[in-house]
Amino acid sequence: MITQRPKGTQDWYGSNMYKRTIIEEIARRICKSYNIKEIITPVFEHTILFERGVGETTDVVQKEMYTFQDKGNRSITLKPEGTAGAVRAYLENGLYAESQPTKLFYITQAFRYENPQSGRLRQHHQFGVEIFGSSSPLAEVELITLLMEFMKELGLKGVKLHINSIGCKNCRKTYNDALLSFLHEHEDGLCGTCKERMEKNPLRVLDCKVPGCKVIMKDAPRTIDYLDEECRVHFEELQSLLQDMDIPFVVDTGIVRGLDYYTKTVFEFVNSDDFTLCGGGRYDNLINEVDEKQDIPAVGFGFGIERIINELEAEQVELPSAPPVDMYIGILGKESRSPAYKIVKELRKVGMIVETDYLDRSVKAQMKYANKIGARYTVIIGADELAANKVNVKNMATGEQKEVSLDKIQEVIDINQ
């Protein structure tokens, strides 16, 4: 047990860790060009934030939260997603008082007590963006354009955009009536949870994963048939903007998303198996629900980093591997340790990846090690080299050697190669 990680968690190391680093680097680089600033919020928040924000009748809140009482008897929850915390931080720190919109991104861990299976973890990671303060469909377009660029840079080709509109509070009234009467007609076939949820929050029945409920819900009324004028225009404008941007999309009336805060636009990026890699949408009421003094529209997305990595593997996309060690500095004799280590330090300062001996190995063993770690060049520094102020730099690929003075080692190799 002590050497076993908890179910649904993952250790990050080696090539997988490097892939994650590259994904995060691309995300950060693109966000920079969109003028989206990074935010880091706590890993845990007061439970009420998620109950209020994500919604009490959602699977996330009812079944999946890691909630505990802290020593001060407060109910605390490990964040199951990134939006609620970002909203809380936006309000608490008065970011709404700055020029709007506020555009924030995060790379965060998230915790959900799910049944671990492929693509479903108990601790996962999301790259997310939230735009606060814009009710224009151009904000959705900004997010979707960013996501298209992100996936292009990653080399993903098999991911498609699905969009839908679930309307606002106003449309929800007429829609809920229609949905509820449909649900009453089919009540006998629904699972226990759906029977319980249908009166409180009928929309949640649409994202039930129980096969019997799924079959019934295929014929349920569609949200887009119940949009009021404002929501209909918003959805039409979004589609026409996406067309103008040459962004392909499918209107998928089955998307309602599993979290309660969405209004108007909802969207997902799905792979060829229809598995969701990224989900997002507009949530114009959430800020008001968290702080009734504010009424600010918002829109965002969350992209699962583990799901990106799975998709890269499925599409056989190779991300660049970790750069090789540029130079191995071998040390011959204890008296050479300090002068050799000073050279290691200098070479690292000019940007080279440098390794040396920390195990007092023989020269032969050091060369074997240098070869094993794939060092591009090697040098041995001993009393003779130090006295002559000269070393032989060996190119490990060609076997070629070049004699240079100690302060000119970096000139032999091109670190950008």
CB 34, min distance to ligand HAM, A: 15
For ligand HAM, give the closer residue by CB, 290 or 344: 290
CB 278, min distance to ligand HAM, A: 5
Half-sphere exposure of 97 (CA within 13 A, CB side): 6
Q: How far apart are CA 189 and CA 182, in angstroms?
A: 12
For ligand HAM, give the closer residue by CB, 149 or 346: 149
For ligand HAM, give the closer residue by CB, 41 or 410: 41
For ligand HAM, give the closer residue by CB, 112 or 162: 112
Q: How far apart are CA 346 and CA 351, in angstroms?
A: 9
- Print burial letters for 159-179: b (CB count within 10 Å at least 16), e (below 16): bebbbbbbbbeebbeebbebb
CB 224, min distance to ligand HAM, A: 19
For ligand HAM, give the closer residue by CB, 270 or 375: 270
For ligand HAM, give the closer residue by CB, 112 or 172: 112
For ligand HAM, give the closer residue by CB, 37 or 349: 37
Q: Pairing relation of β-strands 390-395 and 401-405? A: antiparallel
Would you tell me which residues interact with ligand HAM (CB under 6 A)? 81-83, 112, 114, 119-121, 124, 126, 128, 130, 258-259, 276-281, 300-304, 306-307
Angle subtended by helix axes 14-33 and 137-154, to nearest 10: 140
For ligand HAM, give the closer residue by CB, 306 or 326: 306
CB 228, min distance to ligand HAM, A: 22
For ligand HAM, give the closer residue by CB, 275 or 341: 275
Q: Which residue has the tokens 């114009």?
A: 284
Q: How far apart are CA 89 and CA 103, in angstroms?
A: 13
Q: How far apart are CA 64 and CA 115, in angstroms?
A: 9
CB 81, min distance to ligand HAM, A: 3
CB burial class (10 A; 0-12, 13-18, 19+) of residue 359? Answer: exposed
Q: How far apart are CA 317 and CA 77, in angstroms?
A: 36
Which positions ≥6 away from 7 have C-beta within 8 Å? 116, 122
Question: What's phi and psi for 115, nearest 5 deg?
Answer: -75, 110
CB 289, min distance to ligand HAM, A: 14
Q: Residue type for 8, please? A: G
Angle subtended by helix axes 192-200 and 169-185, to nearest 10: 140
Q: CA-CA distances (angstroms) from residue 35 to 103, 131, 149, 169?
A: 7, 11, 15, 31
CB 263, min distance to ligand HAM, A: 11
Residue at shortest CB range from ligand HAM: 304
Run of H or E residues at 352: none
Distance separating the N- and C-terminal Cα atoms of the chain: 45
Extract long-range pairs of 12-15: CB within 8 Å, 24+ residues apart: 15/321, 15/322
Q: How far apart are CA 126 and CA 103, in angstroms?
A: 17
For ligand HAM, give the closer residue by CB, 178 or 314: 314
CB 208, min distance to ligand HAM, A: 15
Q: Residue type for 146, please? A: L
CB 285, min distance to ligand HAM, A: 13
CB 116, min distance to ligand HAM, A: 8
For ligand HAM, give the closer residue by CB, 120 or 361: 120
